[in-house]
Structure 1
Amino acid sequence: MKSKAHIKTHPLHPILISFPVAFLSGTLLFDLLAVVTGNMSLWQAGSYLELAGMISAVVAAVPGIIDFKYTVPPDSSAKKRAARHGLMNSAMLIVFLAAYILRNNESADLSILALEAVGTALLVTAGWMGGTLVHRNHIGVYNRYANGGKWKEARLNVSDGLIEAAEESELKKDQMKLLLVGDKRIVLGRSENGYVAFDDRCSHKGGSLADGTMICGTVQCPWHGSQFSTETGEVKAGPASQKINTYPTTQMGGKIYVRFPEP
């Protein structure tokens, strides 16, 4: 899923987290060396690293929150994992803040080291979960395949049960576009037989089908490889076992419309 906080499709959150990881893990290392050697200049350096780590963690959290709200697919396993990732990072920040407040620059304190060890363990665990979000759930990964076209997304309204989804020539064969209609996410695609529309949610773990691959009337989820018919929504290959919803499309006046059931 293409990140909403990016520079030329490069997501900001993975770039920025390098700083708090380096600073906060360095804090524990320098403070441990200060206790072992008795060199208080190392303890002072640890204090500076701790402050820099907390500030950079807050900065890195901003694009992370943006991606959590706007990039991670709703009602998916990734949304739950991202929520745990954020809560664990918040707990990590609180632990390091407590250590910083209790810090005495004149003498090393083993209780501070204990807090920083807990904070570092939380940092590593949260980082592991973040890596899973990237490598397994493709959050922030711009993985447009050959001839798949650039990522297209539009927020639209329903008028008389119809969504004006695209220009007739906007998509080429096997290209897709994500339509945000209220709290619904619908994929518009162009197959060999014309335009198709279906839910942007794999029935297995909630992966974004708009971020997957469409070919020969079949869309494949990028997370675990489930395949669905773009015309009927039926499962063509697992691990998904339930079909997805599909919606009728029509062409009028050079535009593509999707018939959307109003509540």
Structure 2
Amino acid sequence: MDSRLRLAGNPIQPMLVTFPFGLFVCATVFDVAAVAGAPALLGQVGYWTMVAGLVAAALTAVAGLVDLWDATPGRTRRAAVSFNVTNAVAAGLFVLACLVRAGAPEHRVGGGVVVLEVLGLAVGSLGVALGTVLVRRFDRVPADAVPHDDADSSLAAVLPVPATNQAPAG
């Protein structure tokens, strides 16, 4: 998929999705531990981790809208819309869980909130999978952005590789 926002020849938005998803996974783990009887502090950490995930999801959505703006009509646009809607639904489930907890004393977590979080993770997993498909199927990396066989890393696509000063063997 053509994108204005690229890093090392790859669209940024599918990469950014991993940040809110990872924060949501951590929040769910902390909340499951709190419901299972761990100290209440873990529930607090879970709540604020979820808030951080929502902030990251909002920033990721902005990158998604920029990419969607330039998506070509047809199959590419449908895939991009599906990707963004799936991620919005996952974030929406975490917004709902966060709002339920916002009114609770000390942001306590209950079993119903954990169910919402697990459902959000399931939808988010689908979003991550769709992002992988989008990048693999629709991304057109320019020929000059592909690292050469002798490149040390994928950053060679955006960083100049210094010439080595080696004396000829002889």
TM-score calculated relative to the size of structure 2? 0.75
Higher relative contact order (CA 8 A, sep 6+): 2
Counterpart position of 2:17: 17
Higher helix share: 2
Counterpart position of 1:133: 134
Question: Distance between the aligned counterparts of 1:81 and 1:7, measured in 2?
Answer: 21
Report if the CA contact (8 A) 1:3-1:9 is conserved: no
Report if the CA contact (8 A) 2:100-2:113 is conserved: yes
Question: Distance between the aligned counterparts of 1:14 and 1:106, measured in 2?
Answer: 31
Residues 31-180 of structure 1 mapped to structure 2, 5 A cutoff: 31-70=31-70, 72-75=71-74, 77-103=75-101, 104=104, 105=106, 107-138=108-139, 141-144=140-143
Aligned residues: 142
Counterpart position of 2:155: none
Once the two structures are superposed, residues 155-180 of structure 1 have per-residue CA deviations (whole angstroms, 9 ceiling, x without a partner) of xxxxxxxxxxxxxxxxxxxxxxxxxx
1:29 is paired with a residue whose SS is helix
Higher strand share: 1
Question: Distance between the aligned counterparts of 2:64 and 2:4, measured in 1?
Answer: 10
Residues 35 and 5 (structure 1 numbering): CA distance in 2 closer, same or farther, change over 3 Å?
A: same
Q: What is the root-mean-square deviation in Å for CA atoms of aligned residues?
A: 2.0
Give how far 1:7 is off.
4.7
TM-score calculated relative to the size of structure 1? 0.50
Report if the CA contact (8 A) 1:99-1:116 is conserved: yes
Give how far 1:10 is off.
4.5
Question: Distance between the aligned counterparts of 1:137 and 1:143, measured in 2?
Answer: 13
Specify the structure having the higher radius of gyration (Cα): 1
Task: Indicate the percent of aligned positions where both proteins have the same amino acid.
Answer: 25
Residues 214-225 of structure 1 mapped to structure 2, 5 A cutoff: none
Give how far 1:2 is off.
4.2
The gaps in structure 2 that reach 5 residues or longer are 146-170
